[in-house]
């Protein structure tokens, strides 16, 4: 009976997935067919709070990297809860590529093996809060490292692994609110330093789950369909339903060809509540994003960037996309910039490092109920 029930459940999942895949493919094909005709300048309100370019898709041209100084920032974190304390280990590293005609000259900041930071939480909190706190501490280390490397060396492009904007949900719990505020201040200091140094500040979000681009598209599709006959066939599919079920990378994987990017859009909506943002308005208005598809068999990457004052965002996007495209097209199925791949390798924290810290604590403190492993980590019967 159980096997039969499981078989029926899997069959229904397969049926729904196949139908959804067909709907997405049809929607993407019809949308792609009308892209050349769409001119977003016909929708002036859009540029105030959404997409800021004329075309939904732009071709990207690789650029020569020779002579450029590029840095990639990544961090690592490992945490574990014990009976009465939680231990969090973090570290972050900047990898600097000085591009020459032969091969890049590689340097590291603060070191090729960055130091570990050990944080202990002594206050009883939920498991969810510890996970949030761990992510927050990692972000703090990454932004501090980014600020430090800008003082350490002249850099043309600084690429962060992840967003260049602190997500508001990290402020949800009161016990870590102060650390969240500190992160926001570090971000603003990073924006100021990058602006003053003339450095392009870029965020590379590997596995984005954002739907902001598709939401913007969904808002203007009815007007686009009315204006452009090439899009009339979209009325034959449930495009509103599809828009609600598809994230940006899923849609743009189907729409973009390799060597293309989406149009630039504002990272934050103008109706973003002040309570949801600790970044001042002067910087919120200079944060933009687009999606870049560098290779054929990998999903597009969300690219965020800080736009300099008095510069049109598409001009900055052209520079950013050209550099990242050149750094990201070395493998047909993996399109993360090579400088971030190296940073990731240097910033990883192994479980053995946490075990080493734990062993030293046991040796110095002795057997203590505070340091008891959780039951799930010491079951005598497996």
Checking if the pLDDT of 94 tops 70, the result is yes
Q: Copy the structure tokens of residue 235.
A: 């009325």
Residue-level length of the chain: 382
At the topology level, CATH places domain 56-210+247-382 in archaeoglobus fulgidus dsm 4304 fold (3.30.2170)
* Distance (Å, whole) CA 369 – CA 372: 5
Checking if the pLDDT of 274 tops 80, the result is no
* Distance (Å, whole) CA 267 – CA 277: 12
* Distance (Å, whole) CA 353 – CA 113: 13
* Confidence at residue 363, expressed as pLDDT on a 0 to 100 scale: 87
- Where residue 328 falls among pLDDT bands split at 50, 70, 90? very high
Across 318-337, average pLDDT: 95
**Closest to 215 in 3D by CA, of 242, 254, 177, 182:** 242
Q: Copy the structure tokens of residue 10.
A: 């899997």
- Where residue 323 falls among pLDDT bands split at 50, 70, 90? very high
Across 84-96, average pLDDT: 95
pLDDT digits 0-9 by tens, 121-174: 888 888 888 888 899 999 999 999 999 999 999 999 999 999 999 875 555 556
Strands 301-306 and 287-293: antiparallel
Buried b (16+ CB within 10 A) or exposed e, 284-305: bebbbbbbbbbbeebbbbbbbb
Beta bridge partners of 79: 88
Please provide the average confidence, as pLDDT, over all residues in the chain.
90
* Confidence at residue 275, expressed as pLDDT on a 0 to 100 scale: 42
Across 266-291, average pLDDT: 78
Provide the CA 72 distance to its chain's centre, in angstroms. 14
pLDDT digits 0-9 by tens, 13-22: 999 999 999 9
310: left (phi over 0), alpha (psi -120 to 50) or beta: left
Checking if the pLDDT of 306 tops 60, the result is yes
Which has the higher per-residue pLDDT, 380 or 220? 220
Which residues, including other chains, have CB under 8 Å from residue 206's CB and lie 6 or more apart?
161, 162, 301, 336
């Amino acid at each position: 009976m159980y096997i039969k029930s499981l078989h029926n459940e899997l069959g229904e999942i397969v049926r729904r997935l196949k139908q959804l895949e067909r709907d997405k493919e049809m929607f993407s094909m019809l949308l792609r067919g009308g892209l050349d005709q769409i001119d977003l300048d016909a929708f002036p309100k859009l540029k105030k709070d959404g997409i800021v370019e004329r075309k939904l898709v732009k071709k990207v041209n690789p650029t020569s990297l020779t002579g450029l100084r590029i840095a990639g920032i990544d961090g690592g974190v490992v945490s574990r809860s014990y009976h009465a304390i939680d231990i969090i280990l973090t570290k972050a590293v900047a990898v600097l590529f000085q591009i020459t005609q032969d091969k890049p000259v590689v340097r590291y900041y603060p070191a090729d093996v960055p130091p570990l930071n050990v944080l202990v939480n002594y206050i009883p909190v939920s498991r969810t809060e510890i996970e949030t706190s761990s992510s927050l501490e990692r972000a703090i280390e990454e932004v501090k490292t980014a600020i430090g490397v800008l003082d350490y060396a002249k850099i043309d492009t600084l690429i962060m692994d992840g967003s260049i904007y602190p997500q508001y949900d990290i402020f949800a719990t009161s016990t870590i609110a102060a650390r969240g505020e500190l992160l926001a201040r570090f971000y603003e200091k990073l924006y100021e330093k990058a602006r003053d140094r003339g450095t392009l500040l870029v965020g590379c979000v590997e596995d984005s789950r954002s739907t902001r681009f598709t939401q913007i598209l969904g808002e203007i599709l009815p007007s686009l369909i009315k204006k452009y006959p090439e899009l009339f066939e979209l009325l034959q599919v449930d495009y509103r339903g599809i828009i609600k079920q598809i994230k940006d990378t899923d849609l743009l994987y189907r729409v973009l060809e390799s060597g293309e990017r989406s149009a630039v859009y504002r990272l934050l909506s103008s109706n973003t509540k002040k309570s949801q943002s600790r970044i001042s308005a002067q910087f919120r208005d200079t944060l933009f994003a687009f999606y870049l598809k560098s290779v054929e068999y990998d999903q597009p990457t969300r690219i965020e960037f800080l736009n300099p004052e008095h510069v049109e965002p598409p001009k900055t996007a052209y520079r950013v996309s050209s550099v990242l495209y050149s750094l990201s097209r070395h493998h047909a199925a993996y399109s993360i910039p090579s400088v971030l791949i190296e940073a990731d390798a240097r910033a990883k924290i192994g479980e053995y490092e946490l075990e080493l810290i734990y062993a030293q604590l046991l040796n110095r403190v002795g057997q203590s109920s505070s340091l008891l492993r959780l039951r799930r980590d010491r079951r005598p019967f497996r």
